[in-house]
Structure 1
Amino acid sequence: MKTWGTKRWRLAAITVIAGSVLLSSAACGGDDKKSSSWQGGAEPGSSAGAPAGGSEASQQPLPSTVAVTSPAADAKNVVAISPIKYTTEDAEGTTVKVTDAAGKEVEGTLDKDAKTFTPAKALAYGTKYTVTVTGPEAEGKTNTTTSTFTTMAKPSKVVRVTSFLGDGQVVGVGMPLIMKFGRSIPESYRDDVERRMVVTATPAQEGTWHWTSPTEVHYRPKVYWKPNTKVFYKVSLAGVPLGDGYYGRSDLTVDLKIGRSLIMTVSNKTKQMTVKENGKVIKTLPVSLGKPSTPSSSGTMVVIEKKKHTIFDTTDELGPEEGYRTPIDFAQRITWSGQYIHAAPWSEGKQGKVNVSHGCVNVSEAMGAWLFNKTLMGDVITVSGTEEKLKNGNGWTDWNMSWEEYKKGSYL
């Protein structure tokens, strides 16, 4: 188990159980040893049979039905996203209130089963907070306890967290959600990061996060997004420990929409592309793929970016003799290595018959314009039957893996 003050933190409820055992032992008075975790009750070693109204008995505080176990009373330098943990004799009948120095109440979630209050966002740095726990009334016991703690100073080492997608975007059914970090996240902290990145899809769909590198994590559903799904994700990493003394810089939310379903399927055997919209074939068109020396990749990709007019320049990569610099219309990138769907009027006589491209999916000028006007970033294209298999990571290859394989990239 990792502690708050050293390597990392966890919201696990098991620490509450441990605290509860200590408190119940002290409160019952069955152990003659003094316990620093005991609050509000008589000294465990005191005589249970002391006469009522005696001077010793009158000085003993009443035992309590509730106690705060974490953060410790008067604790300093508390991590700003620390949960509040407590014990109680009646979970359902207990309330928790957290206030700042000005008396303003902190918003959060109360998990009565785990006996944990979790702030909705990171608490203010360098601020004193008061926890008030109120439990059921019980004869001979108090039912309210208070405890204070002070949060850590604002950290100087922070990690910026950014989303590739933004509010209001409409994307294809294959679009992964992409989060990037300004610094590598150590493996031992990635499960904590995933827990604080919550995706809500309407309608609901099963999905998971998958780390593509130490600085980037993607999310995809088990199968393609359902058309017209509303997607909202909240990333709550402000104040979260991210290793080596670094903390998350801020929180963010993104609210976007999945568009209609558009799937492009390309067969090297037939040299044809089939386009389906919402499950129905709307177009079949001839293509020319990569020639044997520069084959197209077989696998499932998505549209990464679109450029109506651009220039392909390979002279730096291949040299002035083998390289080329060619104006291109209706270019849609599908791999980082430079494979695109694009208009290629010079190969129209070859399309549907023979492969002549440098790895791209060549279509006619007219079909290039038609496709360009139909597609969204995140639309799916699957190519099959070529000499080379798509390498994972060469583009957004989230769908080039089985669901079982994809899940292995999560740290939960």
Structure 2
Amino acid sequence: MHRTVAALLLGLALVAGCSAKVETGTAKPVGGDNPPVAKFTTAPADGAVDAPVNVPVQVTVAEGTIDQVTVTNPEGQAVAGKLAEDKKSWASTEPLGFGKAYAYAGRATGTDGRPVDLKGGFTTLNPASQVRATLFPGDNDTMGVAVPIKVEFDADVSDRATVQKALTVTNSAGVQGSWAWLNSREVHYRPEKYWPANTQIHVEAKLYGVAYGGGAFGRADVTSDFTIGRNQVVKIDTPSHQLVVQRDGQTVATYPASFGKDDDPALNTPNGTFVVMQKFDTWSFDNPQYGYTNVVKKWSVRFSNHGEFIHENNDNAANIGKVNSSHGCANLLEADAKAYYDSAMVGDPVEVTGASMTLPAQFDWYDWQIPWAQWQTMSAL
């Protein structure tokens, strides 16, 4: 009896021991069938189309850290990028190309120790047109104190506000200025008063991928670093028959001159603040309306696209310093014209007073003919 009970109990114990062993062997590992906790997020999203080219690609991971990320272009080249120190995000550091398909690849390790792979891709926008911009002054130029900063486009810009937000000007003098749209293809920047002498200026036009409106986008960024030179201003009071050159407000030269005819407003050297635009050792003057073509003069300095120059005219020597007899230019004797020419710099202001006619603000560069309050209203922002 006792042996039978003992045997039965032993058998039950053995059965129980076998059951426990089987249950332990089939237990599920940590995590079980649950998905890995790490999760990638990308911008642009997987499958996105018309993605911007000038916004950095962003890859982030939640509940994990990034082991590696690559974004490749159709040629298989990797887009430059940088992984954050905490390894939770990656961002591209170079612009993308228009109309290209990019592929994501990468891996992250979750807080649960399990890996997650990144796969997918997106396509960038393919603009209807790409608009080129040019910037003036250029790198390493030295300019006069009245020089405007100009950005010119090879097509009309309809979304001027968006474009203007991409333009910045900084300078060593801390001078503030304002952009003004002169037309749909040209925007200028100037301060309220002339630039301080010796100012270093940096201009950035971050226009690549910027929407100009109408399906047009910026073709490329452009930048410039240039310098403002000495302060030199030409002052012309037409009744005086003298051209005065000032440096830092002090007169350094006075030249006898003959300006445009006083009795004919169409032939005046007109009132206004102009800017030296170009210099030529010789220049051929043509005005068939007044009976002359191919009249070559030395030491010619253009200060308006209306047609005004400061130049040598020894043929008019009898009137220089005495009578205003030109067709609008400032005539000087040859030696004086050469001396002035050598001192002149593109961007120098030329201030004209005393004439019977004031030139409308429509002939380049007319920036300083527009009052400051009006100039500010010409901004798109």
TM-score (norm 2): 0.74
Shift of 1:380: 0.7
**Is the 1:121–1:236 Cα contact (8 Å) retained in structure 2?**
no
Q: How many residues align?
A: 335
The 1:85–1:299 alpha-carbon spacing in structure 2 relative to 1, beyond 3 Å, is farther
- Structure 2 unaligned segments of length 5 or more: list them: 1-32, 61-65, 85-90
SS class of match (1:100):
strand
Structure 1 residue 348: Cα displacement: 3.0
Q: Distance in 2 between matches of 1:107 and 1:393?
A: 48
Secondary structure of residue in 1 paired with 2:198: coil
Alignment of 1:252 onto 2:222:
yes
Once the two structures are TM-superposed, the CA of residue 247 in structure 1 deviates from its matched residue by: 1.8
Could you tell me how far 1:344 is from its partner in structure 2? Answer: 1.8
What displacement does 1:295 show? 1.0
Partner of 2:375: 406
8 Å CA contact 1:123, 1:151 repeated in 2: no
Shift in Å at residue 125 of structure 1? 4.4
Distance in 1, matches of 2:189 and 2:119, equals 40
- 1:348-387 aligned within 5 A: 348-387=317-356
- TM-score (structure 1 length as normaliser): 0.69
Matched, 1:100 2:71: yes
In structure 2, how many angstroms separate the alpha carbons of the residues matched to 1:147 and 1:266?
71
The aligned counterpart of 1:235 is 205
Residue 138 of structure 2 corresponds to residue 162 of structure 1: no
Tell me what 2:280 maps to: 307
Partner of 1:78: 51
Work out whether residues 314 and 333 of structure 2, in 8 Å CA contact, stay in contact via their aligned partners in 1.
yes
- Corresponding residue SS for 2:230: coil
Q: Deviations over 1:123-168 (max 9, x none)?
A: 5641436699x9xxxx99xxx9989652425546221212243222
Aligned residue number for residue 45 of structure 1: none
For residues 30-60 of structure 1, give each alpha carbon's deviation from its aligned partner in whole angstroms, at most 9, with x where no partner exists. Answer: xxxxxxxxxxxxxxxxxxxxxxxxxxxx969
* Alignment of 1:271 onto 2:244: no
Equivalent-residue separation in structure 2 for 1:75 and 1:378 (angstroms):
48
Contact 2:46 2:122 (C-alpha < 8 Å) held by counterparts: no
Query: Partners in 2 of 1:370 and 1:350 — Cα distance?
Result: 20
- The partner residue of 2:313 within 344, 349, 356 is 344
Aligned partners of 2:49 and 2:125 also within 8 Å: no
Give yes or no for contact 1:331–1:343 (8 Å, CA) kept in 2.
yes
> In terms of mean alpha carbon deviation, does 298-307 or 391-400 score higher?
391-400
Q: Tell which structure's C-alpha radius of gyration is larger.
A: 2
Gaps of 5+ in 1: 1-57, 88-94, 111-116
1:107-122 alignment, distance < 5 Å: 121-122=95-96
Distance 1:269 1:314, change over 3 A: closer
Q: Which residue of 1 aligns with 2:24?
A: none
Structure 1 contact 212–393 (Cα < 8 Å) conserved: no
| 1:323 maps to which of 291, 301, 308 | 291
Match of 2:102 in 1: 128
Asked if the contact 2:280/2:299 (under 8 Å) is kept, the reply is yes
- Secondary structure of 1:269's partner? helix
CA RMSD of aligned residues (A): 3.8
Further displaced range: 263-272 or 74-83: 74-83
Aligned residue for 1:152?
Answer: 124
Query: Percent of counterpart pairs with the same letter?
Result: 29
Contact 1:122 1:238 in 2 (8 A): no
- What amino acid does structure 2 have at the position aligned with 1:231? I
Q: Write the letter of the residue equivalent to 2:100.
A: G
Distance in 1, matches of 2:359 and 2:79, equals 54
